[in-house]
Amino acid sequence: MSERIFEGLFVDPRDLELFRVLQEGLPLESRPYSAIGARVGYSESEVIARLHEWRQSGLIKRLGVIVRHRRLGYRANAMVVWDVPDAEVSRVAGRICQYPFVTLCYRRPRKGNEWPYNLFCMIHGQDRPRVEWQIRQLINECEMSDWPTATLFSTRCFKQRGARYTPSQFVALSSLQPA
C-alpha cells in the first residue's frame, strides 16, 4: 500500500488544519461544521465539501460515533493469527471479513521461526468463551484447520487512543506538494 496516496487531497494549507481539528472530534453543537470551519478559516459549506471528498476517496474510512468497546461490555479481545500459504491469503481473508465480529484483518510479514504467521485478525466479544466459540466457527467454516494458528487474548490495555498526526507532519507533507 502506498503511504502517500492521499497526499493530493491536501490542496490548501487549511486542509491540513481541518484534518488536525477533525481528529479532536466534531463538537456537540447545532452547526458543528460551521464551528470547525471557523477555527480553520473555511465556511461551513467548504468544510462539508472537503469531508465529502475525503470520505469518497477513502482518506476517511468512516465518519461517525466512535465507541469504546471495553466500556460497553466488550471485554474480550483476541488477536488471531495464521500461517496461510501466500497464494491463499486474499481468498481466506475475504471470507474472514464477512463475519461481523471480525473488526480488523491484515496481512503482515512472517519473521522466521520466531513468528511464522502472516494473516492477522482481531475479534472483540463480550466474554472469552464466546470469542473462543467464534474462533472455532471461523476455522471450521472457512476451512482453516490445516494451518498453524495462535490466539493472543489481551489481558491488559495500557494505552488506547486514535492515531494523532502532529502539525510538523503536515509541514513535512505539504512541503512535498508542488508549489
Partner 1 sequence: MQGEAIHQRLLNDFQRDFPLSPTPYADIANQLGLTEQEVLTALQELMENQSISRIGAIIPPNSIGVSLLAAMSVPTDRLDKVAAWVSSLPEVNHNYEREHRFNLWFVVNANQPAQLERVLGAIEQHTGLTILRLPLLEEFHIDLGFPLEFPVSA
* Chain residues 18-77 in contact with partner 1, contact rule CB under 8 A: 19, 22-26, 28-34, 44-45, 48, 51-52, 54-55, 58-69, 71-74, 77
Task: Spell out the SS3 assignment of 28-47.
Answer: CCCCHHHHHHHHHCCCHHHH
Distance CA 35, CA 41 (A): 10
Minimum distance of partner 1 from residue 15's CB (angstroms): 11
Distance CA 101, CA 124 (A): 6
Minimum distance of partner 1 from residue 51's CB (angstroms): 6
Stretch that binds partner 1, among 100-108, 132-140, 141-149 (CB under 8 A): 100-108
Q: State the burial class of residue 34 (Cβ atoms within 10 Å of its Cβ: 0-12, 13-18, 19+).
A: middle
Kindly tell me which of 115 and 133 has the beta carbon lying closer to partner 1.
Answer: 115
**Which of 12, 13, 17, 105 forms a contact with partner 1 (CB under 8 A)?**
105
